Structure formats: C-alpha cells, structure tokens
C-alpha cells in the first residue's frame, strides 16, 4: 500500500509508525510520522481499525431492535447515542415524549456528558504522566454510574431511552444517590483544578500547543468542546433546543486560543454546567412530584373493563425486579400514549390475549414500527459535539438507509495537519484532547 507521505519523504528524514498498538492511540488509530529528529515534518492518519459495519447492520434490524447498537458507538455516554437515534425516529413519527420523560432524559444525558468528559480528560492527563488525576476522575465516574445503574439497570450499555420516552421511571431513592454523585463530582473537579489547571508541567505540555483557528475548525466540521475551545459559540442545545433545554439556565464555556489547554479547560467548565442543569431538573421534578406522579395511579375506566378472571390474574402477577419503574401505572408519565410505538406493558402481555397479541405484533417481521416514507435528520449535543442521525424510511419496519454524523470523525481527521511542526511528545496530549472514541469514529 503506497501512502502519500512516503512519496514526499526526504532522504534525511525518519519514517515512524505511531499506533495502532501504541497505548496513547487506544489501539484503533495509526499515525505515520515523518521526523527530523523528534520534530514532525509530515503526518498521515489511518483510521478504521474498529470498523464494525454499524450503519449496514442497522439497515438489517427493525427500528426498535437496533437501539442497543447505538449504545456501542460512544460507550462512555451511550444514553446520548440512544437519545439522538430515538429523537430522529420520533421526528419521523411525529410524536413527543411526556414532559417528565423529557426531564429524565436531560438528567441522564447530562450525567453521560460528565462521564464522557471525565473519561476524556482522565486519559489525556494520564498519558501526560498525571496518573493520580486519572484515578480521581474514575472515582467521580463511579458515583455517576451508581445513579445510572440504579435507574437503568446497567452501568454503560443501558438502552434506557426508548421511542416515546424512557424504559422506566427514576428509582425511588434517586435523589439521595444523585445528590451524592453531584457533591462527590464537584469535590473531584476542585481537586483536579488544584492539581492540573496551574501545573507548570501540564501548562508546558498543553499551552500554545496544537493551536487551531475558528476558521480551520469550522472548515473541518468541528463541533462540541473542541470547536468551542476556539471561541466559536455553537452548542446544539442552544442553537437548536430540544427536550426542555430551552427552559433551563446554563452557560456555554468558550476558549480563547484553541490549544490543548483550552480543550481541557472547556470540558472542565462544561462538567460544572452539566451538574447545574441536573440540579435544575431535580428541582423541577420535585415540584411536580405529586403523589399521582410518583405513586401508582388508578386504572382508567377503559382499562377497567375486564373479566373477573383477568383481574385476579393481574392481581397475582409480580413483575421481575429488573422491570422496576416500568410498571403499567408509570407509562403515562414516561412514554408516549400510542400503542403502535411502544412495547405493551408486561401486566397486559402476561394476563390477557389482547396484550399478548400486541406484544407479538410489535416484534413480528413486517409489523412493529413503520414510519412514513421519507428522510429525516436530527442531532443532539453529544460528548464530543454534534451527534446526528439521518434516516431514510421506505415505509417498512427497517430503515432503508441510516447514517451517523459522528462528531469525533471530523475532529480526528484534522490531526495530521495540527501536529505538523510539533514534536512527538506533543502528539499525545493533542490526540487526547480530541477525545477519540473508536466505536463512533470507525463505526
């Protein structure tokens, strides 16, 4: 295989492969370097070592069954991946989730954003030699994952956000766990600022290294913290509000120079804003937490028309613990009121023939969710930037075409230009500041 870099190589220069087995390239990216000593004269990036055929796989799955595949894109913030896909489909179907479900979605997605930034900066700092910072950030992430596990039943690949709402209501003790996670995360962020933000060694490794101009960033399609580090004020949550973000008060941190340090600092400040958003959502849910909102509601008259045999069967049924929060009486607050788009309650599936038939038809080939013909694009603010799905429907229960707009693809694509003129050691913090996620990058 002939590479452009080999054709331009000078006789006195050294060719060096950095990755894909290099730990700082996370096993999925190869950087070919042309060196004069340790100075980088030229570079070429090769990606695709983690290509799984995500888009083609999704085209062979039903709209509901492909949801878990979105978890595996950015495996640190899977809930945001769920949200981007689900809201694209909701736009196609013309449906909207209940307000309570929207606040729950915001809480979970902002916690995911904090996890994403913690992981990105933990890796970046560790690769610069600050292993203590890595451990601190992992500690904070554990508290946040406790909240997620308590409500979703899983720590990472949750598949919690569903078409029309969410899988289950918040855990009954969610406030205690969430407040603890917020307090512990704030303590960690304070410690990290003390360790890194004015650390002379870290400043020398990041300040004025890999400086990116706003024009360069926009031309490459940068979004998210990396774009905002250059001073460009663009955030999907503000530019194109979705869910209840237009009802929440938060700021968009911006950088000044567009260097590695700004990319670090913007993420640090964004985590503080995400915690602020979560607290506002908690306050809103507390105000709306009337007994009817959190406790079991009475069965509606239309649903009460059952035979005595069915009533008795329903009274005897006890759902599995992993369905806690997804009971039938919670559906009105957490899912869209439309039988065509949601999985029937387990109480109905297990106790009456109508519920069983509805369950089978939802999952049967050729039935289930069938959006109208046409194409739709929708995007949300992911951990690395604008995360969007473009879906084309041909009227069947499977997407005719599905394309993912992966934010870190555009950012990492510019790496070879950014590192030219710098040194080998500068590649490590520069690559780390981009937050490369292999599952999202290669797909």
- Tens digits of residue pLDDT in 55-83: 888 888 888 888 888 888 888 888 999 99
Contact 411, 229 (CB under 8 A): no
- Which of helix, strand or coil describes residue 273? helix
The beta-carbon contacts of 229-234 under 8 Å, at least 24 apart in sequence, are 229/254, 229/255, 229/258, 229/259, 229/262, 229/263, 229/265, 229/266, 230/255, 230/258, 230/262, 231/255, 231/256, 231/258
pLDDT in tens, 259-281: 889 999 999 999 999 999 999 99
| Residue matched to tokens 């809201």 | 87
Q: Which CATH number fits domain 54-291+370-442: 1.10.3720.10, 3.40.50.1100, 3.20.20.70, 1.10.645.10?
A: 1.10.645.10
Question: pLDDT value at position 6?
Answer: 53
- Least confident range of 109-118, 264-273, 282-291, 337-346: 282-291
How much is the pTM? 0.85
Q: How far apart are CA 204 and CA 198, in angstroms?
A: 10
pLDDT in tens, 218-254: 998 899 899 999 989 998 998 899 999 999 988 999 9
Q: Where in the chain is the domain with CATH 1.10.645.10?
A: 54-291+370-442
Q: How confident is the model at residue 392 (pLDDT cuts 50, 70, 90)?
A: very high
Question: pLDDT value at position 8?
Answer: 56
| Residue matched to tokens 């941190």 | 253
Residue 1 has pLDDT above 50, yes or no: no
Q: Which residue has the higher pLDDT, 239 or 297?
A: 239
């Amino acid at each position: 295989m002939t590479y452009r870099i080999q054709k331009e190589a000078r006789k006195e220069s050294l060719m060096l492969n950095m990755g894909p087995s290099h730990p700082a390239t996370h096993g999925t990216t190869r950087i070919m370097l042309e060196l004069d000593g340790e100075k980088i004269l030229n570079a070429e990036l090769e990606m695709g070592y983690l290509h799984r055929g995500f888009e083609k796989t999704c085209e062979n799955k039903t709209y509901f069954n492909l949801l878990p595949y979105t978890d595996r894109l950015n495996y640190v913030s899977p809930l945001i991946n769920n949200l981007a896909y689900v809201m694209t489909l909701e736009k196609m179907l013309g449906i909207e989730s209940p307000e309570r479900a929207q606040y729950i979605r915001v809480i979970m997605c902002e916690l995911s954003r904090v996890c994403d930034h913690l992981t990105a900066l933990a890796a970046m700092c560790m690769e610069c030699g600050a292993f203590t910072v890595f451990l601190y950030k992992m500690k904070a992430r554990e508290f946040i994952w406790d909240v997620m596990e308590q409500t979703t039943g899983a720590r990472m690949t949750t598949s919690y956000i569903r078409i029309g709402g969410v899988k289950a209501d918040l855990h009954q003790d969610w406030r205690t766990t969430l407040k603890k996670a917020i307090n512990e995360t704030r303590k960690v962020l304070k410690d990290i600022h003390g360790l890194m933000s004015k650390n002379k060694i870290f400043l020398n490794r990041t300040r004025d290294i890999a400086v990116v101009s706003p024009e360069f960033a926009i031309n490459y399609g940068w979004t998210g913290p990396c774009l905002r580090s250059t001073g460009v004020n663009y955030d999907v949550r503000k530019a194109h509000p979705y869910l209840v973000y237009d009802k929440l008060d938060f700021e968009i941190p911006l950088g000044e120079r567009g260097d590695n340090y700004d990319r670090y600092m913007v993420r640090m400040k964004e985590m503080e804003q995400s915690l602020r958003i979560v607290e506002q959502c908690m306050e809103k849910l507390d105000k709306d937490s009337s007994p009817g909102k959190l406790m079991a509601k009475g069965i509606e008259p239309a649903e009460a028309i059952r035979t005595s045999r069915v009533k008795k069967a329903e009274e005897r049924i006890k759902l599995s613990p992993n369905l806690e929060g997804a009971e039938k009486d919670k559906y009105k607050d957490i899912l869209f009121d439309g039988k065509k788009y949601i999985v029937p309650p387990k109480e109905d599936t297990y106790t009456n023939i109508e519920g069983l038939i509805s369950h089978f038809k939802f999952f049967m080939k050729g039935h289930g969710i069938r959006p109208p013909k046409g194409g739709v694009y929708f995007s949300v603010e992911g951990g690395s930037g604008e995360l969007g799905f473009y879906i084309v429907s041909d009227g069947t229960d499977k997407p005719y075409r599905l394309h993912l707009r992966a934010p870190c693809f555009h950012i990492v694509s510019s790496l070879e230009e950014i590192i030219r003129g710098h040194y080998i050691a500068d590649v490590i913090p520069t690559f780390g500041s981009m937050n490369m996620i292999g599952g999202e990058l290669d797909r």
